[in-house]
Structure 1
Amino acid sequence: MAATVFYLDEIPEPGGVAVLDGPEGRHAATVRRIRVGEPITLSDGAGLLAESEVVATAKDRLDLKVLNRVVAEPVTPPVTVVQALPKSDRSELAVELMTEAGADVIVPWQAARCVANWERKADKGVDKWRAAARAAARQSRRPYIPDVTDLYRTTDVADLIRTTVVEGGIAAALHESGAARFTELSVATATGVVLIVGPEGGLDDSEIAAFTEAGAQAVLLGPTVLRTSTAAAVALGALGALTSRW
């Protein structure tokens, strides 16, 4: 794979010329100053990868000759991170870290103890998270851009847990009171994994009750208390070592 990955919705067949314009093309041509002859990996963000070579440049676009195309197999089991909204200065950092660590779906969650409140600006917050996920996916050269959902409430998270468990997956609420250790999760045969990360103030008792009633397990991730913005990335790293994801 070339050292640079950019996303393009429609990638031509080998031999065709792809036009990278818009924000991606502007970043490539103006910020990265990519020149004719340089190799570029294109991706549609949904698994398709194409090796290409720059054949022309302009102020805000690149023309690239597509050399080959392959489809990257998704890693398994797929992991959904339910992330309680961090404080504004660490919000996008959380998304960047969990994207680099391999999250497949990211769910922003308005937990009871969140300092941040998206009730009147959910669309704006989701848009920022989607942009952060896209940029982090490019940086880490991921063929799949994580799907960032709309804002969830606690009842929505409980419904997600029930669906996941019914379909053969597992859900884990990362909590310092967890009776089980993260390494004891039965992930080998899980069809999917949901990781629930609470806010800085921790999960509310009613949230823990709702999630465990829906089928989640409260687990202890490690011996130290992590910031909400870093916990998901640490859990994803541990999960990668416990499964075939790594």
Structure 2
Amino acid sequence: MTNPIFFGDPVQVAAAGTGDVFRLEGPEARHAVSVKRLGIGEDVDVVDGAGRRLTGSVTDTGASVLELRVAAVLEEPAPSERFLLVQALAKGDRDEQAVEAATELGVDTVIPWQSDRSIVRWRAEKAAKGQAKWQALTTAAAKQSRRSRIPGVEPVLDSRQLVDRLQGIDLVLVLHEEADAPLAGALSELTGRRADPADGTAPVSIAIVVGPEGGISPAELDAMRSAGAVAVRLGPHVLRSSTAGPAALALLNQLLGRW
């Protein structure tokens, strides 16, 4: 079984080396000691949220403190593909369910989208609070799935802003019930473009666009297609806004050999 993980201060995690005693403090330490009930001698990982992982065993605990002896330091390379989820705002917390599951399935960036047909609206202060809430969701889901990297959540975009944001992404897949092309076939667009971050080349970026309950409007679909996006389908059935993105990510993980 893999070790439980906790997020440490990136500067402190960067400074720690094999054989050092690392001191975890604050809410993460309280969660480790009071909720997870970790004790001396148990194995644990501390990560910085950006790929650096400290593995060690607990040497001491306190009310808001956990210390571990670092046995190994791992720099986990970024995958050769970077997944972005463009998730339309949806009612009934379905958008939040999608964000949480997508994090567990390896998404790297989440972009909230206030589409033309979104019933939920983020305006002014609500936009900042919504972004912060989604960021908290990705952090918690990354911790639960024991990822060393926390997906970032960008500010909410309207449809015009989204088309601009999608410029420069290697492959944009718009999930649409009326599309003729299956998702798997669209990956042929990436032939010969697989990157290896270990060699210093940038990961190939793949965006998955998921509409709201009422679907993506024809005008939005036309605008994204004009920007180079490809409309694809996942199968014969219509999926909810909460499941479409995670289903596509699961398929991409399999097709690209990540699973």
Q: Which amino acid aligns with 2:156?
A: L
Q: How many Å separate the matches in 2 of 1:113 and 1:23? A: 39
2:258 match: 245
Does structure 1 residue 52 correspond to structure 2 residue 88?
A: no
Find the partner of 1:86 among 86, 90, 106. Answer: 90
What is the root-mean-square deviation in Å for CA atoms of aligned residues?
A: 1.5
Supply the AA of the counterpart residue of 2:45.
T
Cα distance, 1:16 vs structure 2: 1.7
**Count of aligned pairs between the two proteins:** 242
Q: What amino acid does structure 2 have at the position aligned with 1:174? A: L
Matched-pair contact (CA < 8 Å) for 1:77–1:245:
no
Show the counterpart of 1:71. 75
Structure 2 CA distance for partners of 1:61 and 1:188, relative to 1, 3 Å:
farther
> What TM-score, normalized to structure 2?
0.89
The aligned residue for residue 213 of structure 2 is: 200
Deviation readout 1:41-63 (Å, 9 max, x if unpaired): 11111111111111111112211
The corresponding residue for 1:35 is 39
Q: Which runs of 5+ in 2 are unaligned?
A: 194-203
Mapped to 2, the partners of 1:58 and 1:88 lie a distance apart of 40
Q: Partner amino acid for 2:180?
A: A
Instruction: Verify the 8 A CA contact 1:170 1:194 in the aligned structure 2.
Output: yes
Q: Secondary structure at the match of 1:28?
A: helix
Determine if contact 1:7/1:42 at 8 Å carries over to the other structure. yes
Correspondence for 1:103: 107
Question: Who is 1:24 aligned against?
Answer: 28
Matched, 1:174 2:178: no
Distance 1:230 1:18, change over 3 A: same
1 CA distance for matches of 2:92 and 2:59? 41
- Cα gap change, 1:237/1:203 in structure 2, threshold over 3 Å: closer, same or farther? same
* Displacement after TM superposition at 1:71 (Å): 0.8
- What's the counterpart of residue 116 of structure 1? 120
C-alpha distance in 1, partners of 2:52/2:167? 31
Equivalent-residue separation in structure 2 for 1:201 and 1:22 (angstroms): 43
Equivalent in the alignment of 1:236: 249
- Separation in 2, partners of 1:238, 1:15: 41
Q: How many angstroms apart in 1 are the aligned matches of 2:93 and 2:250? A: 23
How far is 1:88 from its partner? 4.4
TM-score using structure 1 length = 0.93
Please report how far the alpha carbon of residue 160 of structure 1 lies from its aligned counterpart in structure 2 after TM superposition.
2.4
Counterpart CA distance in 1 for 2:164 and 2:40 is 51
AA aligned to 1:40 is V
Q: Is the 8 A contact 2:95 2:241 kept in 1?
A: no
TM-fit CA distance, 1:145: 1.0
**Residue of structure 2 in register with 1:4 after alignment:** 4
- After TM superposition, the structure 1 stretch with the greater mean CA deviation from structure 2, 53-62 or 230-239, is 53-62
Percent identical pairs in the alignment equals 39
- Cα distance in 2 for partners of 1:22, 1:189 equals 46
Residues 2, 39 of structure 1: 8 Å contact kept: no
Q: Secondary structure at 2:3's aligned position in 1?
A: coil
Partner AA of 1:208 in structure 2? L
Q: Structure 1 segments of 4 or more deviating over 3 A?
A: 187-190
Please, which runs of 5 or more residues in structure 1 have no aligned partner?
Answer: none
Q: Secondary structure at the match of 1:238?
A: helix
SS at match of 1:70: strand
| 1:123 Cα offset (Å) | 0.8
Cα distance in 2 for residues equivalent to 1:40 and 1:146:
21
Paired residue type of 1:78:
R
